[in-house]
Amino acid sequence: MPDTMNTVIATRLMRRTRPDGVVSDITVEIGTPTQTPADGPDSGMWYCPARIVGIAGFEEVITQWGTDSVGAISMALTTMAHLLTVFPFVNEINFSFMPNFGFAVVARPVEGATLTGTVTLENCNDPEQNVTFEFRPQPGGTPTVLKHVLTPTGTNTGTFKLEGIPDGTYTLAVKAYSWLRKVIPNVVVNGGDVSGLTVTLPSGDVNNSNAIDISDLNQIVSRYNQLGDP
């Protein structure tokens, strides 16, 4: 099946704001889910094309498959959201509406628990930031990484809601760009939702290396006494 875009049935416009203040649009486009011919390969399967527009050099069409039309759309949405998270400027993009793309038709019941809580970002005037939540299984296993844009509730504090967390005991590592990572040990998920998690992230990690050191200081010194546009 060639990776070509057919009729676009849904789009999601997001804004990327670079550190220098330049704003650009990033659009995810979802094509029409289509069933394969009954007498051909992958008979009865559905496929759905999708692409990201607005990132130079990465606008090829990617086709995702499912056992029905909703499954194919869901796979396309999930794939596009995941691809966006691997770009180095992920912290500059707002993912608030990516889980179901804003369309209830593609929303499915979420299996697993829901975790809710608050994150406080030290010395922050805009807590609507992308935060990475890394669930590290205990005693070992492959971590699950989720990204979420905080919903502001105060000057430097925002709430989060993470869905679909399987049962288990985790070390939860929380990181935001330019803030140090904090770890919450022994987060237990056992057949029910978990609420009331709180974490405060120290500021000062200018280069996002998860360490505050001479490299961060050098970046600050190199810009010392400069003024921004009024």
pLDDT per position as a tens digit, 91-139: 787 766 555 454 443 334 457 888 999 999 999 988 988 899 999 999 8
**DSSP secondary structure code for residue 71 in this structure:** H
pLDDT at position 109: 47
Instruction: Please name the amino acid found at residue 32.
Output: T
pLDDT at position 106: 38
Say how far apart CA 138 and CA 141 lie, in whole Å. 7
Domains defined for the chain, CATH in brackets: 8-106 (no CATH), 113-210 (2.60.40.4130)
Which residues pair with residue 88 across a beta bridge?
A: none
pTM, to two decimals: 0.54
Reduce the DSSP state of residue 209 to 3 states and report it: coil
pLDDT at position 228: 62
Cβ–Cβ < 8 Å for 69, 47: no
Q: Which ranges of the chain have pLDDT less than 70?
A: 1-2, 39-43, 95-110, 227-230
Q: Where are the beta strands (DSSP E) in 107-228?
A: 113-121, 130-137, 144-149, 151-152, 157-165, 168-176, 182-189, 194-201
